[in-house]
Amino acid sequence: MALRTEFIVIPIVVGKRGKLTVGTREMQKSEAAAIRMVERLSLTKAGAIAIAQDVDSETEFFGEPRLILQMGQIPEGFIEAMAA
């Protein structure tokens, strides 16, 4: 089992009719890089979050996502839905 931690940044954008939607996810090399990216995105987007997730690509194991940082507006129930 080759377990590694992935750091994922998810921008939140304003979609049609002002509805908050999820933008394109971006992988970062470290937790610090993910935090910096969320801070930058929060200046130009409705919001952004950074999560960490343990992954084993050999067995296709995905651990529970862990919230690192949340800034700005996030769609209602989005964080709870990630954990489900």
d(CA 1, CA 61): 9
Phi, psi of 82 (to 5 degrees): -65, -35
Give the model's pLDDT for residue 9.
97
Long-range CB contacts for residues 39-43, cutoff 8 Å, separation at least 24 = 39/69, 39/71, 41/9, 41/11, 41/71, 42/71, 42/72
Q: CA 1, CA 37: separation in Å to the nearest integer?
A: 30
- For the chain, 84 residues long, give each residue's pLDDT as a single digit of tens: 688 999 999 999 998 888 999 999 999 999 999 999 999 999 999 999 999 999 988 888 888 899 999 999 998 888 777 766
Which amino acid is present at 17?
A: R
Rounded to two decimals, the pTM is 0.86
